[in-house]
């Protein structure tokens, strides 16, 4: 009885301590703001669990090799692939830069999803290149080609007269192994996102996400918000999508297995076939089965579930406080929902019942012509269309520069800083963007300072 009381008291006290917005991941929040800020396990992870986290980390970081090899635990790379390690695109568990500073070859961290559109508007994987473009290959197999970017300058100005320039990327596919992509091909660029707090996002109750949907915009604020649904190979049914820029993966296990398969060419019990299409004969000849086991996938998944989120900085700074007020005033929070409380279904207590501050509603939004993969609306992945993107979490944004040495944002890294990320917003976010443009210079800077404190 006394013990129960003491335990309740401790949990109430610790809940109060960590439920403030200073601790975006609740009790598991890390206080390291260095270059390693995105690489810590949830704070309090000790003993056996900490060792398991490190084992998972080693498979995430290490380079994979062609099979057969003297290290069967780390072989199976290819026949075609984007990179030889997870880290190549999620450096220090942070994000890729995606694009070079000026016209040239795209960065390894930028991958391209492909679809062919039929006359009736239905999309399917590209018949020659499949649903992802893999530039690299093992010996004896052809990589699919190279992707270059050519920037186009878009000019605009704020209401106070200050001018700005955005660089719009146009993608050019070169050295294509099996001929042109052809007409009616839709190309969807994606940069590797940061890995923090994913286990918490996975543990938000589905009803809490769905409560934010407003597909017909009944409250008339110009913002709809739709959930994505996709087939889960684990549950063998349509399930809510949470991960990826279009929320097209239902959970971290499937996301990781898909990354192994699509990005590294590593097959597993979840995705047992290599990415070769029927016309990629050299690729088909070098296929291998079950390059990794379910057990190994589970280790990497534990790792991705337990990566922590750094604490906020400067929350009492007056500019940051003003920025936060403006964030709400111009309706950024309508999509970048500040908080959720996680559910209680995780086997890791540190992920359960936490008040978290991810700044996402986990829903899809039409973000306008400029950000769309295609201005026409076709279903692209699950229910997500060519025009829609999942609101990305904003936690950790202020530390991307320290961790990754760049400040590139959005699904292909086209925004060169946080201000440009806002200026690319359109569609359902057009009104918010227009209001940002009308702010004074001081208020714009304060809003950015608020984002940098996240
Ligand atoms: C070639 C670059 C690349 C490599 C290599 C790569 N990823 Fe990713 N990763 C991405 C991209 C791009 C996305 C977003 C995918 C999308 O939008 O569908 C992503 C998304 C993810 C996500 C979801 C993050 C979120 O916020 O929704 C996880 C988890 C992940 N990757 C894990 C891995 C693991 C594990 C590996 C190694 C097996 C890996 N990735 C290898 C580029 C890469
Ligand atoms: C209608 C929903 C919506 C509104 C309103 C909205 N956003 Fe976004 N935001 C998104 C989506 C979706 C993306 C991802 C778009 C993409 O990558 O193409 C995004 C991306 C971002 C990013 C880049 C994040 C990253 O990980 O690269 C920042 C920063 C951001 N928004 C800040 C803001 C601010 C500040 C406001 C208010 C002025 C705002 N947003 C209003 C939906 C919205
Ligand atoms: Ca393989
Ligand atoms: Ca391919
Ligand atoms: Ca609405
Ligand atoms: Ca193997």
Q: Which atom of ligand 1 is nearest to the CA of 190?
A: 12
Nearest ligand atom owner, CA of 68: 6
Q: Which of 335, 390, 418 to mutate to test the pocket of ligand 2 (most atoms within 8 A of CB)?
A: 335
Distance 349 CA to ligand 4 centre (A): 39
For atom 22 of ligand 2, the residue with the nearest CA is 421
Going by pLDDT thresholds of 50, 70 and 90, the confidence category of residue 5 is: low
Residue to substitute in 336, 362, 386 for testing ligand 2 pocket (most ligand atoms within 8 angstroms of CB): 336
pLDDT at residue 296 is higher than 50: yes
Residue 264, ligand 1, Cβ within 6 A? yes
* pLDDT single digits (tens) 24-65: 999 999 999 999 999 999 999 999 999 999 999 999 999 999
Closest-approaching ligand to the CA atom of 390: 2
Q: Mutate which of 55, 56, 62, 86 to test ligand 1's pocket (most atoms within 8 Å of Cβ)?
A: 86
Token pair for 239: 């399930």
pLDDT band at 12 (very low <50, low <70, confident <90, very high): very low
92 sits in the region (left: phi over 0; alpha: psi -120 to 50; else beta) called left
Query: 18 falls in which pLDDT band (50, 70, 90)?
Result: confident
Q: Is 89 in the pocket of ligand 1 (CB under 6 A)?
A: yes
Q: Ligand 1: which residue has its CA nearest to atom 15?
A: 244
How many CA atoms are closer than 13 Å to the CA of 5, on its beta-carbon side? 2
Residue from 311, 284, 316 nearest 37 by CA: 311
pLDDT tens digits for range 112-152: 999 999 999 999 999 999 999 999 999 999 999 999 999 99
Whole-number percent of the chain with pLDDT over 70: 96
CA 217 / ligand 5 centre spacing (Å): 4
Give the distance (Å) from ligand 1 centre to CA of residue 193.
7
Residue 42 Cβ inside 6 Å of ligand 1? The answer reads no
- Nearest residue (by CA) to ligand 2, atom 40, is 332
25 lines ligand 1 (CB under 6 A): no
Cβ atoms within 10 Å of 222's Cβ, excluding its own: 14
What CA–CA distance (Å, rounded) separates 242 from 202?
7
What ligand has the least distance to the C-alpha of 133?
A: 4
Centre of ligand 5 from the C-alpha of residue 26, in Å: 29
Is the distance from the beta carbon of residue 409 to the nearest atom of ligand 2 less than 6 Å? yes
Taken in order 298, 393, 424, 116, the sign of the CA dihedral is: positive
* C-beta of residue 362 within 8 angstroms of C-beta of residue 242: yes
pLDDT band at 1 (very low <50, low <70, confident <90, very high): low
The alpha carbons of the chain give a radius of gyration, in whole angstroms, of: 22
Residue of the CA atom closest to atom 41 of ligand 1: 86
Helix (H, G, I), strand (E, B) or coil at 50: helix
Give the pLDDT mean for 343-358. Answer: 97
80 lines ligand 2 (CB under 6 A): no
User: What integer pLDDT is reported at residue 3 of this predicted model?
Assistant: 57
Predicted TM-score of the model (pTM): 0.96
CA dist 110 → 83, 128, 179, 189, 325 (Å): 10, 20, 21, 7, 34
Total length of the chain: 454
pLDDT in tens, 370-386: 999 999 999 999 999 99
Q: What is the pLDDT of residues 243-290, one digit of tens each?
A: 999 999 999 999 999 999 999 999 999 999 999 999 999 999 999 999
């Amino acid at each position: 009885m006394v013990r129960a009381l003491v335990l309740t008291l401790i949990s109430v006290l610790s809940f109060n301590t960590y439920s403030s917005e200073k601790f975006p991941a609740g009790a598991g929040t890390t206080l390291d703001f260095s270059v390693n800020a995105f690489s810590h396990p949830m704070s309090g992870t000790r003993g056996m669990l900490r060792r398991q986290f490190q084992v998972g980390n080693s498979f995430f970081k290490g380079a994979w090799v062609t099979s057969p090899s003297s290290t069967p635990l780390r072989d199976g790379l290819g026949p075609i692939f984007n990179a030889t390690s997870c880290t190549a695109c999620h450096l220090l568990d942070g994000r890729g830069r995606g694009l070079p500073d000026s016209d040239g070859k795209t960065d390894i961290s930028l991958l391209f999803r492909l679809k062919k559109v039929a006359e009736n508007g239905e999309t399917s994987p590209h018949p020659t290149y499949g649903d992802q473009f893999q530039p690299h290959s093992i010996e004896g197999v052809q990589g699919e080609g190279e992707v270059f970017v050519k920037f186009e300058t878009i000019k605009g100005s704020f209401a106070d007269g200050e001018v700005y320039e955005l660089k719009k990327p146009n993608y050019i596919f070169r050295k294509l192994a099996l001929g042109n992509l052809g007409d009616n091909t839709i190309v969807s660029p994606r940069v590797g996102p940061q890995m923090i707090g994913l286990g918490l996002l996975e543990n938000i109750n589905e009803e809490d996400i769905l409560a934010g949907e407003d597909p017909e915009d009944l409250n008339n604020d110009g913002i709809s918000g739709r959930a994505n649904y996709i087939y889960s190979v684990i549950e063998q049914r349509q399930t809510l999508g949470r991960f990826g820029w279009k929320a097209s993966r239902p959970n971290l296990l499937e996301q990781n297995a898909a990354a192994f398969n699509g990005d590294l060419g590593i097959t597993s019990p979840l995705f047992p076939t290599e990415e070769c299409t029927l016309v990629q004969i050299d690729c088909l000849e070098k296929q291998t089965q079950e390059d990794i086991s379910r057990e190994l996938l589970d280790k990497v998944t534990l790792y991705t579930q337990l990566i922590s989120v750094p604490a906020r900085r400067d929350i009492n700074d007056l500019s940051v406080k003003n920025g936060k007020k403006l964030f709400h005033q111009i309706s950024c929070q309508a999509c970048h929902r500040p908080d959720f409380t996680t559910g209680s279904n995780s086997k890791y207590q540190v992920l359960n019942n936490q008040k978290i501050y991810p700044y996402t509603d986990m829903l899809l939004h039409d973000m306008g012509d400029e950000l769309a993969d295609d201005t026409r609306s076709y279903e692209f992945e699950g229910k997500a269309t060519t025009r829609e993107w999942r609101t990305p979490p904003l936690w950790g944004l202020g530390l991307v520069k320290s961790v990754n040495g760049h400040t590139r944002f959005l699904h292909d890294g086209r925004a060169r800083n946080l201000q440009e990320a806002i200026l690319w917003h359109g569609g359902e976010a057009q009104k918010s963007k227009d209001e940002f443009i009308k702010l004074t210079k001081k208020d714009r800077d304060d809003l950015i300072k608020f984002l940098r404190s996240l």
